[in-house]
A and B are shown apart, each in its own frame.
Chain A
Amino acid sequence: MFMSTESAGKLMDHALSLGADFSELFIEKTNNQRLSVKNGEIHSLTGGIDFGIGVRLIYGDEVLYAYLNSIKDNQVISVMNQLASNYKKERRCSFNSLELKSYNNQPSAIKPISDISLLDEKVGYLKKISNISLDSSKKITVAEAGVFQNNQKVEIFNSEGLHVTDDRHYCRLNSSVIAEDGNEKSTGFFGPGMLQGWEINESYSPEEMSDMVVKQALTKLNAVACPGGKMPVVIGNAFGGVIFHEACGHLLETTSVQKKSSVFWDKMDQIIANPVVNAVDDGTMKNEWGSINIDDEGMPVKRTQLIKDGKLVAFLSDRVGELKTGHKRTGSGRRESYRFAPASRMRNTFIDKGDSSLDEMIQSIDHGIYCKHMGGGSVQPGTGEFNFAANESYLIEKGKITTPLKSATLIGTGPDVLTKISMVGNDLELMAGMCGSVSGSVPVTVGQPALKVDEILVGGQK
């Protein structure tokens, strides 16, 4: 596709001649396009081509990595020599001949970015979202809609004889508004994404895209200050899963396990969560934003059960993770682009559905809050301490959802919250997001059914 097997073989053999135990080439060409509409007019249209090669050499368990924008043999050999200058030794491994493989578990895009005739259709769709939002209420003063689409073509070679290609099509929509009422202002946001082409728009009508954000912003406009302190919380489905992703999922990646900076590093086969909790990371789900045919080390992806009935049963592992911890690779070696060495990362990560209804959870609480839509947050890797904002939340009083609240924040530690989940809902949904970590920003989905956490610290204004 990008490099002949002859060149690739020559380059990897050169790396082995420098004494490396393993060498790998990751070549990428990505075509990106971003289009946004604001208040019914085209606001921006940007895009371009990313192209480069990532070169990885492994000596023992030490990783040497370089990237450059040229795939010319002499330039790649030059950076290999620079990388290995402190490590150079006698050849220890021989090169295996390359065998091309491709995996096509995911359907190809029906409307790829290369079809430039789609631009008019995109503009019309986005303008409609923006106009519906503006027309829905005089309080909506800014209404934006956008689409990000890309096509990432990758070719991976390694010194064990691997030669694979993958053709990934991503498309993500977004809709956002600003609502104003006197001095009060609020915002709403919705951003679904799929591993597919522009056909994503058939799953989300302009009316639905608008309705989600307008309701969110208008509800928050009339919200009251959130109470602070420890209380029971029901975390809504779909993006509510961001808490598990950040506060537990990252701690199950061998990237943190290998440094023992995860509180779970020595907890394999132990109960780490309430037995109602089952958690999965599944890269095989059809068309999901976090799915892939192969990971960025060329391994076919799989479904990995992480927690079974509260017991930790697997970590997410990549090549270096397996080398350093012994936990077998799970097809989880991912990277944002050729600029990053791969690391163990999540794909579609979710808490599996249980058997409680949302109503049952709400009715079980005398005083607490319901976080219907979660926003972003962060986690301290060593300790699992997290902090998440709720985009839309409500007070629960005597078993009923009552007043909308502003700026609710949940803080705690992942391990603690896992043990305090007492009810798991039956309404599992996934939501697209971008996850930033050591190997850059990668598409993932987070997900869960609604969950009841018996006690969590809520940061509020009163």
Chain B
Amino acid sequence: MNTEIQQKLEKNLEYAKLNSDQAEIILTKGSSFSTSSFNGKTDKLAINQGNTVGVRVIKNNRVGISYSEDLADSSIESAINQAVSNSKYMNEEPHEKILKGQGQVLNNHKKNQLKEESTADQKIDLSIKLEKDVLAFDRKVKSAPYNGVSEGKAEYYNFNTEGLRAYESSGSVSCYTSCLIEEGEKNGMHYKSSSARSLEGLDVNFVLKESYEKAQALFNATPLKSGNYDVIFSPNTLSSLFSIFSVIYSGKATAEKKNPLMKKMGEIIFDERFSLIDDPRYADAMMYHDFDNEGMTQNTVSLFENGTYKSVFHNSKTASELGVENNNRAARGARATIGTTSTNMIISSSETQEENKLFEGNPIIEVFSIQGAHSGADAISGNFSFGASGFLKHEGKITPVKGFTVSGNFYSMMKNIHSFGDKVHGNSGRTFFSPLIKFKSLHLSGA
């Protein structure tokens, strides 16, 4: 924690205290170095240094927020005045309080930090190598248009008038590449990325192989015959689906009556083998979380247990509004109102089978890419329809297929599961873990 920043926040908090009943000041600091390459040389190089101060005040039970990217004391005081002024327009909010949390909170677990900082040259070299290696796979590779490496650090301070003095820090490195294969009118393109805590930790070979092999599959892919198929989503696409329908585990959405399943809490609404937890300290995850943004200690939360809807994520406000216990999943950025968020989500099943056996029987579509996921889905009704690419797997034969749509209703689909695999897979960001799940009979439209 930087002493100069601490002193600045204490000073501004004093000013806020004079003008409100409760106040909170958040300061976020980020810095990064990124490079991208094309045609064997650096295409773009960027150095970023950004700060934002966010203010939340409560005066006469009314909440006001504001922010400033200028860290001069006069600008922060203006943001405080603006927050106080905004609060006058708000209705009284008996459920929102600024908490002391656990008081002195350090959320800077070693696992979340950069293991080793790399030099600019190392990142530039890796970016150029990514393009070179993709082009070397095959003469049909027309180009690798997007290649890059980025390394960044982030810090988060949250000081409030109740005594919370929270500090978080983290750092990460990422790389990406893409492969475009083209011949005549046929083409296929795929993009892959990897994140880690050091340059050496990046799975560069996987990124290269995936970009090339999936681009090749898309190049060779054929149209799919329309019909109903059993479908297995890849870890990344399944993670996207669960993200689109996140209203069903958001306390904020529930309190705002936007959770379509809110009246079914405690009921069995999904397949009875299905369980979903949120574990802040899951061993294989990228990030460890000890405290939420209200400075409260985080523990594992069960969202679904054997198909039964158990809970949603809460902060102190949503828990108070809904009359339940807070499970400490508060999220508060410098610019936004208080919300809720997940940490690491893990799906499990009470009954699994050997992963290979999932692909036996009827033709299976293994979806590895979905397009337009957010626009093609309605979280309220559960209906979705989006473009997809994948593999048709039947009787040991694997055929790449593309240009089809997969449609259904997410809430019905979760009741209609054929089977679960016996291995756990993570998404690229290592925030979502699940066995492969074979969903029964979704409608796919193709040629």
Identify the closest chain B residue to A374 (Cβ).
B375
> Which of B66, B89, B124, B375 has the most CB atoms of chain A within a 10 A radius of its CB?
B375
Interface pair B67/A341, CB less than 8 Å apart: no
- Identify which of residues 413-462 in chain A touch chain B, using a CB-to-CB cut-off of 8 Å: 457-462
Majority SS at the chain A contact face: strand
Contacts of A65 in B (CB 8 A): 44-47
- Identify which of residues 355-401 in chain B touch chain A, using a CB-to-CB cut-off of 8 Å: 371-378, 380-381, 383-387
Shortest CB distance A261–B (Å): 4
Q: Among B187, B378, B408, which residue has its beta carbon within 8 angstroms of that of A186? A: B378
Interface pair A46/B44, CB less than 8 Å apart: no
- Identify which of residues 12-60 in chain A touch chain B, using a CB-to-CB cut-off of 8 Å: 38, 41-42, 44-52
B75 on the A face (CB < 8 A): yes
Interface pair B376/A462, CB less than 8 Å apart: no
Take A46-B86, A51-B69, A382-B180 as given contacts and tell me if A460 and B49 are in contact as well, using a CB distance cutoff of 8 Å: no
Interface pair A387/B69, CB less than 8 Å apart: no
Q: Among A49, A341, A407, which residue has its beta carbon within 8 angstroms of that of B407? A: A407
Q: Among B70, B405, B446, which residue has its beta carbon within 8 angstroms of that of A51? A: B70
A230 on the B face (CB < 8 A): yes
Contacts of B48 in A (CB 8 A): 66-68, 339
Identify the closest chain B residue to A186 (Cβ).
B381
Take A259-B38, A383-B187 as given contacts and tell me if A409 and B44 are in contact as well, using a CB distance cutoff of 8 Å: no
Interchain CA distance A386-B371 in the complex, whole Å: 8
Shortest CB distance B147–A (Å): 10
What is the 8 Å Cβ interface bit string for chain B, positions 43-77, against chain A (1 contact, 0 not)?
A: 11111111100100000000011111111000100
Interface pair A385/B403, CB less than 8 Å apart: yes
Interface pair A83/B47, CB less than 8 Å apart: yes
Interface pair B120/A42, CB less than 8 Å apart: no
Interface pair A228/B443, CB less than 8 Å apart: yes
Take A62-B42, A259-B143, A382-B180 as given contacts and tell me if A186 and B380 are in contact as well, using a CB distance cutoff of 8 Å: yes
Shortest CB distance A375–B (Å): 5
A365 on the B face (CB < 8 A): no
Number of chain A interface residues as a range: 35 or more
Number of chain B interface residues as a range: 35 or more
A98 on the B face (CB < 8 A): no
Interchain CA distance A459-B385 in the complex, whole Å: 6
- Identify which of residues 244-297 in chain B touch chain A, using a CB-to-CB cut-off of 8 Å: 256-258, 260
Shortest CB distance A406–B (Å): 6
B337 on the A face (CB < 8 A): yes
Interchain CA distance A66-B257 in the complex, whole Å: 43
Q: Among B180, B403, B445, which residue has its beta carbon within 8 angstroms of that of A261? A: B180
A389 on the B face (CB < 8 A): yes
A86 on the B face (CB < 8 A): yes
Interface pair B91/A42, CB less than 8 Å apart: yes
A299 on the B face (CB < 8 A): no
Interface pair B378/A47, CB less than 8 Å apart: no
Interchain CA distance A67-B69 in the complex, whole Å: 12
Take A69-B50, A261-B145, A389-B385 as given contacts and tell me if A49 and B44 are in contact as well, using a CB distance cutoff of 8 Å: no
Interface pair A388/B189, CB less than 8 Å apart: no
Take A67-B50, A79-B49, A460-B385 as given contacts and tell me if A383 and B188 are in contact as well, using a CB distance cutoff of 8 Å: yes
Interface pair B381/A376, CB less than 8 Å apart: no
Identify the closest chain B residue to A39 (Cβ).
B257
B8 on the A face (CB < 8 A): no
Interface pair A407/B49, CB less than 8 Å apart: no
Assuming A49-B75, A378-B373, what are 7 further A-B pairs, CB within 8 angstroms? A65-B45, A142-B256, A228-B405, A228-B443, A386-B371, A387-B372, A461-B408
Please, could you name 25 A-B residue pairs with CB atoms under 8 Å apart, sorted by A?
A45-B86, A45-B90, A46-B336, A48-B82, A49-B67, A62-B45, A66-B46, A79-B47, A83-B45, A178-B258, A184-B381, A226-B385, A228-B226, A228-B405, A228-B443, A259-B146, A375-B375, A378-B371, A383-B187, A386-B372, A409-B387, A411-B387, A457-B403, A459-B406, A462-B443
Which residues of A does B touch, CB under 8 Å? Answer: 38, 41-42, 44-52, 62-69, 79, 82-83, 85-86, 116, 119, 123, 141-142, 178, 184-187, 220, 226, 228-230, 256, 259-261, 263, 339, 341, 375-383, 385-389, 406-409, 411-412, 457-462
Which residues of B does A touch, CB under 8 Å? Answer: 38, 41-51, 54, 64-71, 75, 78-79, 82, 85-86, 89-91, 120-121, 124, 142-143, 145-146, 178, 180, 187-189, 226, 256-258, 260, 335-337, 371-378, 380-381, 383-387, 402-408, 443-447
